[in-house]
Amino acid sequence: GQKDAAEQTFAALNADDWQTAERIVHTLKGVSGNIGANTVQKCAEGAEMAIRERRPRADVDVQLAALVGPLKHLISQLEVVVPAEQERQPVPVDPAAVKRVWDRLQALLAEDDTAAGALLSQHADLLNSAYPNQFGELESLIRACDFEAALAVVRRC
């Protein structure tokens, strides 16, 4: 979900939207930290600080340029090891099982625990059958490590 973060940040800055640019690199910093991508996290932190301090655009561009290479490298590695989305099979919905999984998922998301992704994958067919209208959005948010937004989806259901 962060593949285009650098390009989106450049675009926001080109539109003179420094607040959006800061939010984008802040999110990238958090996501990369959650998955242990320390180089990307450190580069995103430098870019975020430059944007927050409203340094001259040339300085900000240097910080963002330093982010592009490590981010592309990380994304290329992730694309090799992260499995492609699988087609979901409808399964009978056991309300008690759904509640157990849903409660555990909510707890993991509240703790920003990356184990939420594994739990979602393990019970994907069940959760997709129970929440067909919300599952795709939830899965995308968890894959992007946007646990706060994923938690909001879980709490809506």
**What confidence tens digit (pLDDT) does each residue in 41-75 have?**
999 999 999 999 999 999 999 999 999 999 999 99
Residues 32-44 pLDDT 10s? 998 899 999 999 9
pLDDT score recorded for residue 85: 54
The better pLDDT of the pair 23, 89 is held by 23
> The pTM is what?
0.58
pLDDT above 90 for 24: yes
Q: Give CA torsion, residues 15, 20, 26, 27, to 10 deg.
A: -110
Task: Name the DSSP class of 82.
Answer: S
pLDDT score recorded for residue 78: 84
pLDDT score recorded for residue 29: 94
Spell out the alpha helix ranges (H) of the chain: 5-14, 18-34, 38-52, 57-81, 95-110, 115-122, 124-130, 135-143, 147-156
Task: Classify each residue of 71-91 as buried b or exposed e, where b means 16 or more C-beta atoms within 10 Å of its C-beta.
Answer: beebbeeeeeeeeeeeebeee
Residues present in the chain in total: 157
pLDDT score recorded for residue 1: 78
Residues 98-145 pLDDT 10s? 999 999 999 999 999 989 999 999 999 999 999 999 998 999 899 888
Residue with tokens 């399964």: 91
Q: Given pLDDT bands bounded at 50, 70 and 90, which one contains residue 83?
A: low
Nearest to 26 by CA among 67, 86, 59, 80: 67
1/31 Cα distance (integer angstroms): 9
The better pLDDT of the pair 3, 91 is held by 3
Q: Given pLDDT bands bounded at 50, 70 and 90, which one contains residue 80?
A: confident
pLDDT above 60 for 9: yes
